Structure 1
Amino acid sequence: MAKRIQFSATGGPEVLQYVDFTPVEPAVDEVQVENKAIGINFIDTYVRSGLYAPATFPSGLGTEAAGIVRKVGAGVSAVKPGDRVVYAQSALGAYSEIHNVPLEKLAILPDNLSFEQGAASFLKGLTVHYLLRQTYEIKPGEIFLFHAAAGGVGLIACQWAKALGAKLIGSVGSDEKAELAKRAGAWATINYHKEDIAQRVAELTNGEKVSVVYDSVGKSTWQDSLNSLKRRGLMVSFGNASGPVIGVDLALLNQKGSLYVTRPSLYGYITNRQELQSASNELFSLLGSGAIKIEVKEEQKFALADAQKAHQVLESRKTSGSSLLIPGL
C-alpha cells in the first residue's frame, strides 16, 4: 500500500483527498518511481478546478516529481532500480508516494542536484527553455516583458535571461516580489498595483516598447500585454492565473500593429525523449554552473497529506518561487 492524492469531482482545494492505494506493476516501457519531492504547479489548480478536467474520476493529480527508480517494466534498459530520476510530463498522479511513468518522460537527475531542486525546477525550467529558446529566441541585449516574474517560472526566467545577457522587465504584485525578481536577474520590475504596465514599459524602452511579452497571468494582463508590444510584436500567452483569455478580437491585433499571438505549451515542444534530453541538458547545465539557483522556502514545503493547504496558499498569489509536496514530511 502507498498514499496518494486523488479527487472525485472538480472544485476548490477541498476536493483533494489523501487516500491509500495499491501501486500496480509498471507496464511495458514504464518505470515505477518512488517520489522523494513533488512539484506543485499552477496548472494543477486548473485540473482540480475543472478548467482542464480529467477524463475519468477518481483521478490523481500532478505531473512532476523527482525520486528513485523502484521497478522497471519490460523493454526498459535506459534506467535501472536505484537510479535518481526526474519527470514533468507524466500522466496525472504525481501527487503520490509511488508513480508509474513512461520511460520517454524521464530524465536522469544529475548527482549534483537534490531531489528537491529537481522537482522544483524541472517543469518550470523546461517551460522557460521553450519560451526563451524556442517560442521566441531571446537575443543578448534584448528587452522583453515577463509577467509574474517572482513566481516559480518567473524567477527561473529572470536568471535564464541574465545568463543570456538579455534584459527582462518583470511585472510583480508587490515591492517584496520586485526585490526577489531583481535579485534573480531582472533588469527592471513593474509593480502592477502601483504602476501602469504598458506606460512603464514604454518609459523603460524610450517609447519603443518590446518585441515579445510572456504572459502566464491571462485575463487581467491581456490588454496591458498587447499595449506593451511594438509593431508586429509577439504575445506569448502561456497561462491563466487570473482567468482564461476568451473572445480574442483579431481586429484589435491589427489596430495595435499587426501583432502576433501564440498559446504554446510544453507538450507542443517536448514530444519524445530526444527533445526532453536536449532541453533538460541545457537546464541541468545552467543549474550545475550556478547560473540558475533553486531555493524553496521552508514554508512552501508541504507534507503530501497537506495538498489542500498547498493549493490554498498557491492560489492566494502570496508564494514566490517553487512549492513542493514532500512524501513522509
Structure 2
Amino acid sequence: MSKAIRVHVHGGPEALVYEDVDPGRPGRGEVLVRHTAIGLNFIDVYFRTGLYPAPAGMPVTPGGEAAGVVLEVGEGVDRLKPGDRVAYAVPTGAYCERRVIAADKLVEVPEGIGDEQAAAMMLKGMTAEYLLLRTFKVKPGDTILYHAAAGGVGLILGQWARHLGATVIGTVGSAEKAEIARAHGFDHVVNYRDQDFVAEVAAITGGRKCDVVYDSVGNDTFPASLDCLKPMGTFVSFGQSSGPIPPFSISLLAQKGSLYATRPTIFAYNARREDLVRSAEALFDVVLKGAVEIRINQRYALRDAAQAHADLEGRKTTGATVLIP
C-alpha cells in the first residue's frame, strides 16, 4: 500500500482525504512510478470541487504533474527501465506516493533539471509552450497581455515571452506580486486592484493595444480583455480561476475589432505522443539554457494538500508550489 490524496465527495479543501491506496502493478504499456515531487495547479481545485468532472469517476486523486523514478515496467515497455527519472502532465492522479501510468505519457528528465523543478514545470511549462508557440505564435515585436502574472504559468510564460522578443504586460493583485512578475520577464505590470488594466494597456502601448491576451482568470477579466486587443487580435481563454466566462454573442468579436477567440487545453495540444515530446523538449531547452528559471516558492508535505489548496485559493501562493510525498 502507499499513501494518496483522494476526493470522495466534492467540496472545499477538507474534501482532500489522505489515505492508503494500492497502486497496483503495471500492465501492458504501463509503468509503476514512485513520486519524488508533485506539482500544485489550479486545475486540481476544479477537480476537487467538481467544476471539472473526474475522467475516471469518483473517488478522484487530483494532481496533474509530477516527477519520480521508475520502479517497474509492464510488458511491451522497452523505452523505460527501473531507475529512470521521469515526469509527466495529465489531468488527474498525481497526489500519491506511487502510481501506475501509461508509459507514453512519461518523458525522461534530462540531467541538469532536478525532480522538484520537473514536477513544478511540466503542466505549467508545457502550457506556456503551447500558448506561446502554437495557440498564438509569438514573435519579436509582439505585445502580449497576461493575467495573473505572478502565478505558476505566468512566471514561466513571462520569461519565455521576453526570450522570444515580445513586450510583456501582466496583471497582478498586489505590489508584492508585481515585483515578482517584474523579476520574471514582465516589462510592465498592472495592479488590477487599484488600476484600470484596459486604460493602463492603452497608455503602455500608446493606444496600439496588444496582439494577444492570455487569460486564465475568466469572469473577472471578461469582456474587458477584449478591449486590450488591436484589430484582428487573439483572445486566449485557458482557465477560469474567478469563475467561467458568461455566454456571449459571437458578434461581440466583430464589434471589438474582428477578434479571434479560442479556449485551448494542454491535453488537446499534447494528445499525440510526438506533440508531447516536442513540447517537453522545447521546455527543457529553455530551462537548460537559462532563458527560463523555475523557482519553487512553496513546499508542502503531501499529507498537507488541503492547506496547500486553501493557500492557493486564498491567493497566498506565488509561482510554483510542490507537494512532497
TM-score by length of 2: 0.98
Partner of 2:323: 325
Once residues 304 and 153 of structure 2 are traced to their aligned partners in structure 1, the CA distance between those partners, rounded to angstroms, is 23
Once residues 320 and 136 of structure 1 are traced to their aligned partners in structure 2, the CA distance between those partners, rounded to angstroms, is 25
- For the 8 Å contact 2:167–2:187, the answer to whether it is kept is yes
Partner of 2:198: 198
Aligned positions of 1:69-218 closer than 5 A: 69-89=70-90, 92-218=92-218
Partner of 1:303: 301
3-state SS in 2 of match to 1:243: coil
Once residues 111 and 233 of structure 1 are traced to their aligned partners in structure 2, the CA distance between those partners, rounded to angstroms, is 39
Post-superposition shift, 1:72?
A: 0.6
Q: Is 1:35 aligned with 2:35?
A: yes
Where structure 2 has 5 or more consecutive residues not aligned to the other structure, the ranges are none
Counterpart AA for 1:40: L
Post-superposition shift, 1:226?
A: 0.8
Q: Is 1:53 aligned with 2:53?
A: yes
Once residues 59 and 283 of structure 2 are traced to their aligned partners in structure 1, the CA distance between those partners, rounded to angstroms, is 34
Once residues 79 and 38 of structure 2 are traced to their aligned partners in structure 1, the CA distance between those partners, rounded to angstroms, is 23
- For the 8 Å contact 1:105–1:272, the answer to whether it is kept is no
Counterpart AA for 1:288: L
Partner of 1:67: 68
Which segments of structure 1 move beyond 4 Å, counting only runs of 4 or more?
none
CA deviations on 1:219-247 (whole Å, 9 max, x unpaired) are: 00012211101112111000001001121
Post-superposition shift, 1:117?
A: 0.2
Aligned length: 324
- For the 8 Å contact 1:37–1:115, the answer to whether it is kept is yes
- For the 8 Å contact 1:76–1:103, the answer to whether it is kept is yes
3-state SS in 1 of match to 2:183: helix
Counterpart AA for 1:265: T
Counterpart AA for 1:325: L
Once residues 318 and 17 of structure 1 are traced to their aligned partners in structure 2, the CA distance between those partners, rounded to angstroms, is 22
CA RMSD of aligned residues (A): 1.0
Counterpart AA for 2:167: K
TM-score by length of 1: 0.96
Partner of 2:16: 16
Partner of 2:312: 314
- For the 8 Å contact 1:10–1:53, the answer to whether it is kept is no
Once residues 129 and 136 of structure 2 are traced to their aligned partners in structure 1, the CA distance between those partners, rounded to angstroms, is 10
CA deviations on 1:162-184 (whole Å, 9 max, x unpaired) are: 11111110111111111111111
- For the 8 Å contact 2:44–2:92, the answer to whether it is kept is no
- For the 8 Å contact 2:173–2:192, the answer to whether it is kept is yes
Post-superposition shift, 1:108?
A: 0.3
Counterpart AA for 2:84: D
